[in-house]
A and B are shown apart, each in its own frame.
Chain A
Amino acid sequence: MIRLTVNGQQHEVDAEADTPLLYVLRDDLGLNGAKFGCGLGQCGACTVLVDGQPVFSCLTPVSVLAERQVRTIEGLGGNAVQRAFEDVQAAQCGYCIAGMVMRATALLEHNPHPHEDEIRAYMSGNLCRCGTHMRILEAVRQAAGQGVKP
């Protein structure tokens, strides 16, 4: 059995040590917010937070997380980033959005008033194939003024 803490709740899951965190979240814990995109750490659809930092959960072996805090979009509870994404209608198909929201949340928790360059550099790890990047950036700017607490 492998122990991990997700959104403040402790879990024990029956998984191989090399199983990606993403599979455990979706298949064992029923947390389907994080998406499988490329499986190679290139697209960011699977982004979740580990100890407050964004990681690609598709490349995070579940066995490295024993003493650490995992947060997924299910644990945000409608924060300012989520509201801003809704306000500006940042989603088109929506597949990348959970990852985008998690990365933006990490940014604003650490840097409440980022410059435009900082937003673009930080968000560049996540891709949107529909091409709504301009609205996503607008949502991050809007959320930045509203205060995002860890």
Chain B
Amino acid sequence: MKLSRALGASVFAAILMTGGCDTVWHPSIPPVAGPAEFPTGQIARGAELAAIGDCSVCHTTEGSRPYASGRGVQTPFGVVYATNITPDPETGIGTWPESAFRRAMREGVDRDGRNLYPVFPYPHFTRATDRDIAALYAFLMTRPAVHADTPPNRLPFPLNQRFVLTGWDHLYLRPGAWQPDPAHDADWNRGAYLVEAVGHCGGCHTPRNVLGAETDGQALAGGEAENWYAPPLQAASPARQGWSVDSLTAYLRTGFDAGHGAAAGPMTAVTAELATVPAADVRAMAVYLTSMMPKPAPAPVVAHAGEDPVFAGACGGCHGPDAPMMRNGAPSLAMSTAVNAPTPRGTIQAILQGLPWREGQAAPYMPPFASVLTDAQIAELAAYLRSAYSDKPAWRDLPAEVARVRGAS
């Protein structure tokens, strides 16, 4: 817990340096009683925005009712539980007026005036428009109310003292409305807004600093999510074949693209949600993201080394050159972003966990190999994949990385 003490101390220092105690305190906003009514169109737009923002990934858990919370998000500092955002008056946000909801989205402060932890991506939501926040509010306030308490967070002192977050906010929360860039067209600006504000893609795809904030000047430069590799979405994109607007739109809406592969790990839920929103919104996001990426180039040819017996026995039935999956249009592993990435983490995770069945959906699937292969065998297999399917330099310290990823999974 030395790290957390040190972090706490620096946050205290930050409070003293940047604002003093007058801003530690946020007023409570008086509760409102009874359900409000909202126009149908506003609720419908709220549903789309909630899907773009993927609220349910944290605010719904397996077995919980929608938006009734309970998911513990593992952070480097401890576990923070997502709250109940159904309109239940006692355990949810049923007594929150829209002004309180807007303050939570913009400033990371709940109705009572308590700071929220930045696992809740208010540094992104702070850019959302009044209109979109109102639509999200309308959508959430018309969900079925569920009485469900949120478990207490598991954080060490002093991070369990919410006022320390005021210091964090002074350092890292940059309030202010989204500013469109007049050098780009409406589609690009729409996409930029959805990516940066509501979609909060940087939550995973931007590297975080020692205090858990997205690193300045490194927006979308690649990060991690639940110990999975989240690739860069800008110039440093390691995609073997560049993303076009069409291919990225298709990937984001289906979780699969024939030139790149299948969404895995935490990205699976993101693509499942984006499948439900208007294609124009997803396309705008793709327009913005691809504008920062390297231009699409023809797929390179990667020479295969001799076959590895573990690959042949465990992987070849699907990923081998003549396998049925390949004849059905799945991309070669040479196209895999995970295989071409600077870190082996995505490849190791895919081998360990596979891609679980998505119940009731036609979606990519891969069996897990965590119980089949030892750490040493996975390290050798990953090294083989890298040498046979990528012209990038070999990964270093593979055995240690496999042990680390397995231990944390």
Contact = CB atoms under 8 A, between A and B. Distances in A.
A99 interface: no
Contact of B313 (A19, A51, A125): A19
B320 to A, nearest CB: 10
Interface in B359-386: 359, 365-367, 369-374, 377
B367 A50 contact: no
A29 interface: no
A37 interface: no
A60 B357 contact: no
Interface stretch (A39-47, A88-96, A128-136, A137-145): A39-47
Contacts, number: 62
A117 B62 CA distance: 10
Interface string B314-326: 1011100000100
A128 B352 CA distance: 25
Q: How large is the interface on B (under 10, 10 to 19, 20 to 34, 35 or more residues)?
A: 20 to 34
Given A18-B312, A42-B365, 11 more contacts: A18-B307, A18-B309, A39-B317, A41-B367, A51-B371, A54-B371, A59-B367, A59-B372, A61-B314, A64-B373, A124-B359
Interface string A18-31: 11100000000000
17 contacts: A40-B317, A40-B367, A41-B366, A42-B367, A51-B371, A53-B371, A54-B371, A59-B313, A59-B314, A60-B313, A60-B372, A61-B314, A63-B313, A64-B310, A64-B373, A64-B377, A125-B367
Contacts of A61: 309-310, 312-314
B190 to A, nearest CB: 40
Contacts of B312: 18, 61
A42 to B, nearest CB: 7
Interface in B313-367: 313-314, 316-318, 324, 357, 359, 365-367
A50 B372 contact: yes
What 6 pairs across the A-B complex have the smallest Cβ distances?
A61-B313, A41-B367, A17-B309, A53-B371, A18-B312, A18-B313
A59 B371 contact: no
B63 interface: yes
Contacts of A53: 370-371
A62 B371 CA distance: 14
A48 to B, nearest CB: 11
Nearest to A64: B377
Among B310, B316, B365, residue most surrounded by chain A Cβ atoms (within 10 Å): B310
B363 to A, nearest CB: 13
Given A18-B310, A60-B372, A117-B63, A124 B367 contact: no
Contacts of A85: none
Contact of B372 (A39, A55, A125): A55
Nearest to B308: A18
A67 to B, nearest CB: 9
A64 B357 contact: no
A4 to B, nearest CB: 13
A40 B377 contact: no
Given A39-B317, A60-B314, A64-B377, A50 B371 contact: yes
B309 A59 contact: no
